[in-house]
Amino acid sequence: MIVANNASPQQVVSALQDFVAQNTSPLWVAFSGGLDSTVLLHALTQLRLSNPKLNLTAVYVHHGLQAAADDWQSHCKQICDNWLVTFFAIPVEVKAVARQGIEAVARQKRYEAFAHLIRDQGVLLTAHHQRDQAETVLMALARGSGVQGLSGMTPETDKTFQSTQLHQARPLLNVPYEALLAYATEHQLFWVEDPSNQNIDFKRNFVRHEILPKFNQAWSFSEQNIALSASLLHESASLLEQLALIDVGDKNCSVYGLDLQVLDGLDWARQKNVLQYWFQTHLKLGINQSIFEWLRHTLASYRSSSSPSFALANGYVLRIHGFSLYCLCQAELGRPYHYDFENFSKLSLRYPFKTLISPKWFLSHQVDFAWLREGLSIRSIHPSDLQAMPGLKTWFKNHKIAPWLREIWPVLAYENQLVAILGFKTLSQYQNPPV
Which residues define the annotated binding site for ATP? Answer: 32-37
Which residues neighbour 187 within 8 Å (Cβ) at sequence distance 6 or greater? Answer: 9, 42
How far is the C-alpha of 407 from the C-alpha of 404, rounded, in Å?
A: 6
How far is the C-alpha of 232 from the C-alpha of 312, rounded, in Å?
A: 30
**Smallest Cα–Cα separation from 43: which of 25, 62, 58?**
58
Q: Is the dihedral of CA 254, 255, 257, 258 positive or negative?
A: positive
Element (H, E) at 166: strand 164-169
Please say whether the beta carbons of 56 and 44 come within 8 A: yes
What count of other Cβ atoms lies within 10 Å of the Cβ of residue 67?
8
SS3 label, residue 312: coil
Binding residues: 32-37
Please say whether the beta carbons of 255 and 357 come within 8 A: no
Cα distances from 422 to residues 328, 381, 431, in angstroms, run 21, 10, 13
Length of the chain: 435
Please say whether the beta carbons of 234 and 152 come within 8 A: yes
SS3 label, residue 328: strand
Please say whether the beta carbons of 192 and 33 come within 8 A: yes
Q: Which residues pair with 140 in a beta bridge?
A: none
DSSP E strands in 206-301: the ranges are 253-254, 257-259
Q: Is the dihedral of CA 310, 315, 316, 319 positive or negative?
A: positive
Cα distances from 42 to residues 29, 55, 58, 178, 184, in angstroms, run 11, 14, 11, 16, 9
**Smallest Cα–Cα separation from 80: which of 44, 110, 111?**
44
How do 417-421 and 410-414 pair as beta strands?
Answer: antiparallel
